[in-house]
Amino acid sequence: MLKKILILFVMLVPVVANFAFAADKKKEEPIEHLTDEQIYDELKKLALVFEVSRENFVEEADERKMLEAAMNGMLSALDPHSSYLNKDDFKDFNDKSTGEFGGLGIQITSDRGAVRVISPIDDTPAEKAGIKAGDYITHIDDEPVFDLTLNAAVKKMKGKPGTKVKLTVISGDNEPKTITLKRAIIKVKSVKFEEKQLADADADAPKIGYIRISDFGSTTARDLRDAIKSLEKKKVIGYVLDVRNNPGGYLTAAIDVSDAFLDGGEIVSTRGKNKTDIDRSFAKPGDLTNGKPLVVLINHGSASASEIVAGAIQDNKRGIIMGSQSFGKGSVQQQKPLGDGTAIHITIARYYTPSGTSIQNTGITPDVEVLQSKVKPIEKRESMYSEASFRNSLKNDAAQKKARSKDKSGKTDDEDDDEDYENLTDAEKDARDYQLQRGMEMVIAMSKLAEPIKKEEN
């Protein structure tokens, strides 16, 4: 039995060792490598721990659970994104990549033993419940999640569609809140698009192509090309590419999306452990939008592939990046199948923008910082100093009638409208989206600046 266990761990070690230094090192001291003999001694100790624990634990031990936890611990010691995938985990991962899976619709990561939200996915139970990028999940069904592996946390949140799960969430400096969500089949529609106008704009106001990418999947590039083709027919003056709260996805999809807006230049480079291990991706000739003004919206929930696109657009000076600092996940993960339906998910490289800047831990800094805000009037509709303030001033009969017919609810025009956000129309939601409105204004401004240049060229 001991010999078999040793063989199992010896088979794993070479795979892990090849990529162990791809993740960020928490200590700057040089690593003291073990000799083959020392490694073998440690593996014997590990096998001994397994045998002693199994024989002496107060209850019947689950050997598979113990071994999987050992392998997960080995990989999670490298970085938060490396893990062991058993058969169910590996199948679930592949199911997610196809664009449909069950659960809550939430992308999470490990943060110092806690579970942190990278981003909720559009139109999912998590997003509708108000879970936001940067929130921390402390309990699942009243059980603490500290020091759970990511896979274990995900398993607890998954379940049969229609069943409920209770999450305790901390958002910012607010007190923890407990929310109950109903699990659903998550169908990820990667690309949504439409023509938009500024809030309260006239019917003949400029039309802007709005493209929302919620994640980078296998169909994203194709769907984006279709979206641009459709919007070009509608004579839009420019584009807003919205990758806010987009947690990432396929590297190839990020490259193809960037390529759609570029006529050349580097898109991204990936760099592994060895200095010579560099892979660069370049845009092919042909900007599908014909060089029209482009604004890319990012925020704290924009991660990985989203940051690759933003970095490529920014460094190639193709468009303006607006919003807030992105998440800062600049590492590349890859699945290494182990031949029995299981695999390891391991960090093998870092992403770099065309200018050679690492995205890891820093993210993309927007060209124009626009924090999501709520616009409120800073002056009263009626001043205490006006003609009406004089004691003997003439009255306005029409105004008096209007005052008497004041809204029965007692609300004045200056009071906040607390109507539930979900009940608003799409146009009303757009009007409240401060970042989107500023992005569209920027597209219009860029379009006007480009007009004299076009006239000169003609």
- Which residues does the annotation mark as catalytic? 304, 315, 329
| Dihedral sign, Cα of residue 41, residue 81, residue 180, residue 90 | negative
Residue 240 near residue 255 (C-beta atoms within 8 A): no
* Measured distance CA(73)–CA(70) in Å, rounded: 5
228's enclosing H/E stretch is helix 220-233
Give me the long-range contacts of 225-232 (CB less than 8 A, separation at least 24).
225/260, 225/288, 226/191, 227/191, 227/193, 228/260, 228/288, 228/289, 229/288, 230/193, 231/193, 231/195, 232/288, 232/289, 232/290
What are phi and psi for residue 231, nearest 5 degrees? -70, -35
Q: Read off the amino acid at residue 238.
A: G
Residue 442 near residue 320 (C-beta atoms within 8 A): yes
* Residue 269 CB-density burial (10 A; 0-12 exposed, 13-18 middle, 19+ buried): middle
Q: Tell me the three state secondary structure of residue 200.
A: coil
193's enclosing H/E stretch is strand 191-196
Distances in Å between the Cα of 409 and the Cα atoms of 406, 415, 416, 423 are 8, 12, 13, 19
